[in-house]
Amino acid sequence: MPTANSSPRIDFLRAGSLLLGGVLFSCASLLAADALAYRTRQERFPASSPCASALKKGVVCPAANEEIVRLLLARALVGVAIMQNVHTGKTVAFAGTASQPGGGVRPQPALPHASILPLSTVKLMLAASWLEHEDSIDPQFRKNAPNIHELLVQGRDEPGRQLALLLRRSIGSDAVLGDLARFGFPLCGSGKPGRPLSMPACVSLTAQTSDADWASSLSIGETDITVSLEQLSGFLCAIGKTGVMVLSSLHTTSVPSNLMSRTTADQLEVAMLDAVAIGSSKGIRDRLGPEWKMGGKTGTGPADSHPYDGIFAGLVFDHDGPARYTVVCYVRNGGPGGGAAAEIASDLARFVLGL
């Protein structure tokens, strides 16, 4: 009941304030509970893992580095591989091999900033740029665009070339190059990118690049663009973390924390899962058993290399659903990306998870 010193209007405002406060408190409590549950889930490491102690401490696992070398030496392959925690950016493993004088392959410390050809993994960057601008792109361009999901799942080159040109004509070269830099793939200060496993890793495309070269570079990733394992793994971290990237200790380039929208990240993630389930990476579909899943994108080339180089850029998902780790493997003259590169990446994940 209103008192002598109050009015119905004042009591109504007080009641409204109390109700609003209660709602806000409830929302805050729910968010805190969700954050705690999320953090607890991320801190639950497989007890059977030979890397369990290193994972808990957030440091590199020496046993996993040795496993990378063992997997490459077993196939006599020159290559590199990296595995990182999606949510902390901490590096779990990073190692490689090199050619030995007189023949053969030997272990060699991997260089985080050395360049590799992205090959068809560049389609992930191309798709991300398109999805970031899709709502503002002219409907006629959108109508003529290939299906993004199918492009990533099946990895077809011609639709990739088509999308690269549509994107250029709809938003302009500078906007696309700006997106690549925002995603963590910087423009070359001058000159060309380095050869695979050398320096620098950068993009040499410009507004003056011919349409043919532009389309080829952003669909098959063999010219005018190289990336480093730390750049590519960081990009995958953002995909797995709803568009937000946590920089690792390997990172030397300056990139924003919000690389892409959650909607873009979610669409890329779904396509990567389907690429392993039914697409270009289906050879490793059941390699992690029933409780863990892989999503990824393969790349194969260059066209004049025989046997081809192969790359697999992947995400490891736990049984609750979220992406937990990135895993990237690049092998020289090791055949298609869906072969040795994907198998080594998934076997590394199996080892780290103790499966």
CATH code of the domain containing 247: 3.40.710.10
Any domain includes 94: no
Shared domain for 144 and 237, answered yes or no, is: yes
Any domain includes 84: no
pLDDT digits (tens, 9 = 90+) for 68-90: 999 999 999 999 999 999 999 99
Cα–Cα nearest to 163, from 181, 146, 176, 149 = 146
Shared domain for 149 and 38, answered yes or no, is: no
| Beta-carbon count within 10 A of 76 CB | 12
pLDDT digits (tens, 9 = 90+) for 104-142: 999 998 877 788 999 999 999 999 999 999 999 999 899
Shared domain for 126 and 31, answered yes or no, is: no
Cα–Cα nearest to 347, from 312, 319, 318 = 312
Any domain includes 305: yes
Contact indicator for 110, 197 with CB cutoff of 8 Å: no
Shared domain for 138 and 267, answered yes or no, is: yes
Q: Give pTM, 2 decimals.
A: 0.85
Shared domain for 141 and 287, answered yes or no, is: yes
Asked if residue 167 has pLDDT above 80, the reply is yes
Any domain includes 62: no
Any domain includes 213: yes
Shared domain for 198 and 347, answered yes or no, is: yes
Long-range pairs for 139-146 at CB < 8 Å and ≥24 separation? Answer: 141/166, 141/169, 141/170
Any domain includes 344: yes
End-to-end CA separation in angstroms for the chain: 67
Shared domain for 145 and 23, answered yes or no, is: no
Where in the sequence is the domain holding 265, given as residue range(s)? Answer: 115-353
Shared domain for 130 and 14, answered yes or no, is: no
Number of domains in the chain: 2
